[in-house]
Structure 1
């Protein structure tokens, strides 16, 4: 278990700087949380971090203007006007379909989630098929079950948590969550009541 190696791992990493791809949002926070859970001090204040993803995103912009230039080889004039952005987005999607037509798209675990093709069903599958709420607080897992996508219950079925911890529903409903998230949570809760 992590607990059994935590002290030796902390010693091994003593004085080390840390790096990775998306490590500032995932790997390092996860590592620190795991050390804290087993009461091992892992000080990050004197460490340096290098995140290749952050550098990638800073240097290779991920904006509509950048996508329009990359996929359509055109400069976006009047960026952020509704008409220009709409036309540019349509052109980018068309160019993406032409460029990637027939290519499979995988999730971070390597599972195929869809294929790029010129139809809405396939484009939805690769863009948003596992979304439950628009904020992304809930997603469906590989079995199609709604699971939490944040916090201490991440990847756990929403219905199971609502049954095991009824107060969690109240916490979310009183919390600073989008109304759409609260609406979906209520729908899942009511569905659980109706199934009884």
Structure 2
């Protein structure tokens, strides 16, 4: 399988599922490792872990792992030494591992008393390779979907005309796409159902709004308003979007976002 892959030492391809996306707060609930050796041999291991915290419904919706699934599983600290030794001296590979999986693994190892470093390893991020092979510029999209080169790129008139042509080209290549603006907006929403604002500075955790950045990540808006209003005042004074500032200012006044019930949730409750 790896005839075209030239390895000097084992390559560890891994993926992590977790309780969330904040390394300092969230925990790993599953880790899968594919170890590829220079001679072409491979080893597969998958381990589920007890995160020692409730798995939010939003996380379960992504990976399908529930609290009951992991309640009898070992905690990370019990498997840390074996995993650390298993991947020691290996290069790393994964999809968006530089942005998510590696920071999560570093944080878990640190809590278990191990210093996990990537400085002396080659890190192959397949997501980054994908982005370089298929640029997400308007010119690249125009060439892909319309089959021609975009002339006058970065001119407002040319870009708006090309954008509409790209949309029509997407319809032609993907007949499964919705044809109405509402359906297209929902299909193209990359923020996810847990996003409170467009910049994801706040997110939903159940029915509570929590901070999604910095040292206060994971703290609820209500708790901050009651015990640390200075942080919210700082947001209002700083370079955040007007939407984020409005949420923080409302919280200082005792007004908090209310999560809307989706159509699917309404049907499941009825």
Range class of TM-score, shorter chain? 0.7 to 0.9
Which residue is 2:249 aligned to? 186
Query: After superposition, where does 1:90-101 map in structure 2 within 5 Å?
Result: 90-101=164-175
Which residue is 1:135 aligned to? 199
Which residue is 1:39 aligned to? 113
Equivalences, count: 181
1:125-151 deviation digits (Å, cap 9, x = unpaired) = 12237454332323557x786554445
Which residue is 1:20 aligned to? 94
Q: Which structure: greater helix fraction? A: 1
Residue 66 (str. 1) matches residue 140 (str. 2): yes
Cα RMSD, aligned residues only: 3.1
Q: Which stretch of structure 1 is more off in the superposition, 185-194 or 31-40?
A: 185-194
C-alpha deviation, 1:40, in angstroms? 1.6
C-alpha deviation, 1:73, in angstroms? 1.0
SS of the residue corresponding to residue 80 of structure 1 reads coil
Q: Which runs of 5+ in 1 are unaligned?
A: 103-115
In structure 2, relative to structure 1, the CA distance for the partners of 1:182 and 1:25 (3 Å cut) is same
SS of the residue corresponding to residue 71 of structure 1 reads helix
1:101–1:118: 8 Å Cα contact kept in structure 2?
Answer: no
Larger Rg: 2
In structure 2, relative to structure 1, the CA distance for the partners of 1:156 and 1:124 (3 Å cut) is farther
1:85-124 deviation digits (Å, cap 9, x = unpaired) = 111111112222343233xxxxxxxxxxxxx311111111
1:35-84 deviation digits (Å, cap 9, x = unpaired) = 22333211222111001111111121111101111111121101111111
Give the distance between the partners of 1:73 and 1:135, measured in 2 at CA.
33
Q: Which structure: greater strand fraction? A: 2
Give the one of 175, 180, 185 matched to 1:119.
180
C-alpha deviation, 1:26, in angstroms? 0.9
Q: Which runs of 5+ in 2 are unaligned?
A: 1-74, 259-270
Which of the pair has the greater relative contact order for Cα pairs under 8 Å at 6+ separation?
Answer: 2
